[in-house]
């Protein structure tokens, strides 16, 4: 069945991640190293290596427990990535960085810093993606990319949040029903449950078109921040800010407390999440509070080059917490060569599992 995404029908079929170099992601730092302190700030390039594995290598190299190694964000192993790590080395010199390097790990920079690197301490991520074996009309694909650059994309949580085949959601339900899990697993399952509810609300907003325009009773978020405001009456000024991507509609990150939305927006959220009482109640009992996440994410610096008739290179930046696959999903069906079951990115902005079944997705 042909599925319709936020910009219309799919405009291409393609493959991605034939090699790690086809999926390049680089963290955009939030600050410069202070030059002194108890922490060593490392900028690492990893090929075919996820963040947790790299952190383990760094811990062994530095002779510290893994808890002494911190990072701002998680990166997938099916990629070429550049990211920061901090290592707590109070009162001691760092080992020679040459001892850390391997064929798949390079140290690009090392400097002392006064504080531990906190999760989320980055401005965003820069991507360079190559799509291969493209089937589709070049002019139509170019037009779709132009629209994405102008309007942004749905800010869905990627399928990686939910585990293979959505297993994390069922595991979360079991945890909420009383099954004991490890502390680190609990955090993963809480995130998965919250993301599931957000994606359901986003799917409904993509379906009615309000993911980029808002609804009566909307709560808005200022672009580039977590500051929210509203609801407030419609106005020409509000509409103009929405149009230029200065503010965005939001969806619920579920927890304790009352929904801030009102009128049509609140009615939609309550209706869409009515049959997920087990997830809602579990998140509330876990102590999480109501928060908001933007339904739309602006794609900064979007540019593209046709390297061959069937090879397209995309370059763009996204804020922290946004998924590159949300952009790819608005183009069409992108088969992921690295997926365990030959999965594809769906053509409905990353939210198809709540509209047309449960395809396997990737991040």
The chain-wide mean pLDDT, for the chain, equals 92
b/e 181-204 (16+ beta carbons within 10 angstroms → b): eeeeeeebbbbbbbbbbbbbbbbb
The pLDDT of residue 354 is above 70: no
Mark whether 139 and 115 lie in a shared domain.
no
Give 253-269 pLDDT, tens digit per residue.
Answer: 999 999 999 999 999 99
* Residues 86 and 31 sit within 8 Å (Cβ to Cβ): no
Containing domain of residue 235, as a range?
194-297
Mark whether 245 and 340 lie in a shared domain.
no
Cβ-based burial of 226 (10 A; exposed 0-12, middle 13-18, buried ≥19): exposed
CA dist 83 and 26 (Å) reads 6
Mark whether 131 and 111 lie in a shared domain.
no
The pLDDT of residue 27 is above 80: yes
The pLDDT of residue 358 is above 80: no
How many domains does the chain fold into? 3
Give 265-275 pLDDT, tens digit per residue.
Answer: 999 999 999 99
The answer as to whether 183 is a domain residue is no
Question: Among all residues, which ones are annotated catalytic?
Answer: 76
Mark whether 208 and 239 lie in a shared domain.
yes
The answer as to whether 50 is a domain residue is yes
Among the listed ranges 42-51, 106-115, 133-142, 352-361, which one has the minimum average pLDDT value?
352-361
* Residues 73 and 83 sit within 8 Å (Cβ to Cβ): yes
pTM: 0.89
CA dist 153 and 322 (Å) reads 10
The answer as to whether 264 is a domain residue is yes
């Amino acid at each position: 069945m042909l599925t319709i995404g936020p910009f219309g029908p799919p405009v291409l079929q393609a493959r991605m991640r034939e090699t790690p170099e086809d999926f390049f992601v680089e963290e955009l730092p939030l600050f410069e190293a202070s030059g002194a302190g108890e922490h060593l700030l490392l900028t690492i390039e990893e090929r075919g290596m996820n963040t947790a594995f790299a952190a383990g290598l760094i811990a062994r190299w530095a002779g510290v427990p893994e808890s002494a190694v911190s990072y701002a964000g998680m990166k997938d192993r099916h990629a070429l990535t550049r990211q920061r790590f901090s290592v707590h080395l109070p009162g001691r010199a760092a080992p020679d960085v040459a001892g850390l390097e391997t064929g798949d790990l390079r140290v690009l920079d090392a400097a002392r810093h006064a504080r531990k690197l906190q999760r989320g301490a980055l401005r965003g991520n820069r991507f360079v993606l190559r799509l291969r074996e493209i089937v589709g009309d070049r002019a139509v694909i170019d037009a779709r990319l132009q629209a994405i650059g102008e309007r942004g994309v749905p800010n869905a949580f990627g399928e990686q949040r939910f585990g293979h085949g959505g297993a994390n959601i069922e595991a979360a339900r079991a945890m909420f029903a009383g099954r004991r899990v490890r502390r680190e697993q609990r955090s993963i399952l809480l995130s998965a449950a919250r993301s599931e509810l957000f994606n359901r609300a986003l799917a409904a907003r993509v379906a009615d078109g309000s993911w980029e325009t808002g609804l009566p009773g909307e709560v808005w978020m200022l672009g580039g921040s977590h500051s929210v405001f509203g609801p407030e009456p419609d106005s020409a000024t509000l509409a103009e800010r929405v149009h230029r991507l200065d503010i965005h509609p939001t969806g619920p990150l579920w927890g304790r407390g009352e929904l801030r939305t009102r009128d049509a927006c609140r009615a939609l959220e309550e209706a869409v999440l009515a049959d997920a009482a087990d997830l809602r109640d579990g998140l509330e009992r876990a102590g999480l509070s109501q928060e908001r996440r933007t339904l739309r994410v602006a794609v900064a610096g979007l540019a593209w080059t046709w390297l061959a008739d069937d090879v397209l290179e995309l370059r763009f930046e996204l804020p922290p917490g946004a998924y590159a696959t949300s952009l790819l999903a608005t183009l069409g069906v992108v088969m992921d060569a690295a997926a365990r079951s030959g999965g594809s990115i769906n053509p409905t902005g990353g939210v198809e599992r709540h509209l047309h079944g449960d395809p396997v997705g990737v991040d």
